[in-house]
């Protein structure tokens, strides 16, 4: 299961200003032009897990992006992708991880099968195109994470802007997908990020977690504490930009980020810089409660009978507390209780869930987000999709309730009609579960931008 659709074709930008200056930050070094962090290579192909290839444990090519190495090598939709640099591609997550490990200029060999004939193809990876906008400049930079890894930052600001501007800081989702918003994107969340980047009078700041996009590290082995440290490093770097007003920060949290966003500002001084929050598809209960809720929905939407759903929930009641509260590995639990193996979402992979290590979720379980949100006093927009089967509506309502308890009327909860986990448009809950999207509804992006322009500005009245 993916908590967010993967980006496939990041876009292009001209870096028209800022010289190669380096600034020391609390957590490490901020590079203003990002040249210290090599650009990833543009492999440019995807596979379809529902279409196995004739070679065992392989899949057929589902798409080939123009301008990519795959296109240059004349790889075609329907080819069987066998090896990339001797790596057997057994799934989307592995293909993405291997693709993002390559850097532009690297020579890569790809083994495909077409009409029963094996073909060994070799080429030089071009650079992934950069994000660009007609009315906004884009700055590719980097910050240092807690383990010294360099993390890609993407900053936008309106062209020809003068003075210091308020900033929208993005706290991202759980999955290992980049925050880069491609020009050619059809992904709903990317389209909203692009709308924010073109919002007059605002800058935006995004950071890719370790091992995602250009960032160094391995996402599949990065725990939550390390990821949070990267967000905090990027947040502290805001003060180093002479066009950003560090005391006018709006924090947009999406999915997992919609829950932990208030943890990013650590000190009282940093918290005082926040003028408002937008939480989309967030959470506030314990992660254990979330796992029980999402599993019941998963079992139900996958067509299990009511009785079978209850039987599976009994297995979940054994598996998840042992893992999340007692710190046992899933492998250990399955060895002692073989009946729980059937419900584990990742099948044979018992070291990861949704592409992240088990420790990631044990750390989420230790959080007390109810206490965190109960300290928020600034204007807050809380959004939940009608067809969000991943996070519960009750969590979103509780976030608004906790903020309003501190500052009556500061928080606004909204259920987005015909909307999925974040900004995707669906016609039914079943479509949302199957990932069968309807055309993007731009009114969801307008809702956020209007709040930032009007409702969010009330944060100055604290």
The residue among 166, 140, 159 whose CA lies nearest residue 151 is: 140
For the cut 80, the answer to whether the pLDDT of residue 15 exceeds it is no
| Number of separate domains in the chain | 3
> Does one domain contain both 116 and 243?
no
Alpha-carbon distance of 231 to 213, in angstroms, equals 15
Q: Which residue has the higher pLDDT, 13 or 52?
A: 52
pTM of the model: 0.87
- Condensed to tens digits (0 to 9), the pLDDT of residues 293-331 reads 999 999 999 999 999 999 999 999 999 999 999 999 999
| pLDDT in the model for residue 456 | 65
SS3 at position 459: helix
Long-range contacts formed by 289-293: CB under 8 A, 24+ apart: 290/391, 290/392, 290/395, 291/316, 291/320, 291/324, 292/316, 292/317, 292/320, 293/392
> Does one domain contain both 207 and 323?
no
SS3 at position 78: coil
Instruction: Show which of 327, 350, 366 is a domain's final residue.
Output: 366
Q: Is residue 40 part of a domain?
A: no
> Does one domain contain both 75 and 158?
no
- CA-based R_g, the chain, Å: 22
- Please compute, for residue 288, the number of CA atoms within 13 A of its CA located in the half-sphere on the CB side: 17
Q: Is residue 16 part of a domain?
A: no
Q: Which residue has the higher pLDDT, 90 or 4?
A: 90
- Condensed to tens digits (0 to 9), the pLDDT of residues 227-260 reads 999 999 999 999 999 999 999 999 999 999 999 9
For the cut 70, the answer to whether the pLDDT of residue 218 exceeds it is yes
For the cut 50, the answer to whether the pLDDT of residue 11 exceeds it is no
| pLDDT in the model for residue 455 | 60
Instruction: Show which of 317, 341, 366 is a domain's final residue.
Output: 366
> Does one domain contain both 276 and 409?
yes
| pLDDT in the model for residue 445 | 94
Task: Give percent of the chain above pLDDT 90.
Answer: 79
Q: Is residue 18 part of a domain?
A: no
- Condensed to tens digits (0 to 9), the pLDDT of residues 423-452 reads 999 999 999 999 999 999 999 999 999 999
> Does one domain contain both 222 and 152?
yes
Alpha-carbon distance of 260 to 395, in angstroms, equals 12
- Condensed to tens digits (0 to 9), the pLDDT of residues 78-91 reads 999 999 998 888 78
| pLDDT in the model for residue 95 | 87
Instruction: Show which of 345, 366, 387 is a domain's final residue.
Output: 366
For the residues of 350-388, what is the DSSP string, one character each? Answer: -SEETTEEHHHHHHHHH--HHHHHTT--S-EEEEEETT-
Average pLDDT over the chain reads: 89
| pLDDT in the model for residue 51 | 87
Long-range contacts formed by 288-295: CB under 8 A, 24+ apart: 288/320, 288/321, 288/324, 288/325, 288/365, 290/391, 290/392, 290/395, 291/316, 291/320, 291/324, 292/316, 292/317, 292/320, 293/392, 294/389, 294/390, 294/391, 295/320, 295/343
Structural domain that includes position 332: 287-366
> Does one domain contain both 261 and 315?
no
- Phi and psi dihedrals of 56, rounded to 5? -55, 140
As beta bridge partners, residue 249 has 167, 274
Alpha-carbon distance of 239 to 27, in angstroms, equals 13
- Condensed to tens digits (0 to 9), the pLDDT of residues 156-186 reads 999 988 899 999 999 999 999 999 998 988 8
- Phi and psi dihedrals of 333, rounded to 5? -65, -45
Q: Is residue 247 part of a domain?
A: yes
**68 band by pLDDT with thresholds 50, 70 and 90:** very high
3-state DSSP percent of the chain in helix, strand and coil, to 5:
35, 25, 40
């Amino acid at each position: 299961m993916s908590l967010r659709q993967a980006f496939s074709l990041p876009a292009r930008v001209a870096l028209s200003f800022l010289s190669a200056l380096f600034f020391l930050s609390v957590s490490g070094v901020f590079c203003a032009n990002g040249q210290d962090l090599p650009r990833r290579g543009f492999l440019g192909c995807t596979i379809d897990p529902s279409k196995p290839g004739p070679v065992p444990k392989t899949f057929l090519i589902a798409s080939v992006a123009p301008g990519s190495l795959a296109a240059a090598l004349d790889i075609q939709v329907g080819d069987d992708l066998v090896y990339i640099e001797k790596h057997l591609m057994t799934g989307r997550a592995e293909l993405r991880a291997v693709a993002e490990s390559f850097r532009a200029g690297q020579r890569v060999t790809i083994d495909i099968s077409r009409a029963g004939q094996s073909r060994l193809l070799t080429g030089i990876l071009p650079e992934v195109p950069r994000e660009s906008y007609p009315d906004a400049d884009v700055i590719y930079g980097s910050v240092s994470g807690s383990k010294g890894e360099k993390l890609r930052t993407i900053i936008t600001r309106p062209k020809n802007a003068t003075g210091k501007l308020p900033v929208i800081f993005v706290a991202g989702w759980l999955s290992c997908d980049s925050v880069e918003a491609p020009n050619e994107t059809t992904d709903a969340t990317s389209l909203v990020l692009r709308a924010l980047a073109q919002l007059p009078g605002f800058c935006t700041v995004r950071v890719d977690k370790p091992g995602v996009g250009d960032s160094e590290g391995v996402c599949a082995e990065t725990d939550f504490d390390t990821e949070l440290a990267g967000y905090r490093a990027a947040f502290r770097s805001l003060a180093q930009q002479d066009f950003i007003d560090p005391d006018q920060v709006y924090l947009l949290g999406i999915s997992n980020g919609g829950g932990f966003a208030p943890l990013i500002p650590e000190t009282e001084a940093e918290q005082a810089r926040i003028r408002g929050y937008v939480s989309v598809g967030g959470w506030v209960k314990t992660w254990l409660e979330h796992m029980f809720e999402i599993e019941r929905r998963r079992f139900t939407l996958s067509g299990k009978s009511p009785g079978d759903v209850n039987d599976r929930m009994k297995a979940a009641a054994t598996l998840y507390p042992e893992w999340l509260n007692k710190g046992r590995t899933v492998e250990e639990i399955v060895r002692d209780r073989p009946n729980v193996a059937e419900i584990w979402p990742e099948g044979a992979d018992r070291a990861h869930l949704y592409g992240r290590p088990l420790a990631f979720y044990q750390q989420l379980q230790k959080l007390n987000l109810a206490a965190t949100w109960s300290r928020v006093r600034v204007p807050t927009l809380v959004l939940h999709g009608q067809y969000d089967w991943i996070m519960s509506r009750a969590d979103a309502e509780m976030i608004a309730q906790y903020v309003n308890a501190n500052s009556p009327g500061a928080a606004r909860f909204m259920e987005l009609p015909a909307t999925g986990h974040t900004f995707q448009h669906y016609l039914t809950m079943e479509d949302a579960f199957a990932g069968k999207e309807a055309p993007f509804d731009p009114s969801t992006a307008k809702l956020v931008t209007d709040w930032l322009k009007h409702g969010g500005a009330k944060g100055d009245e604290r």
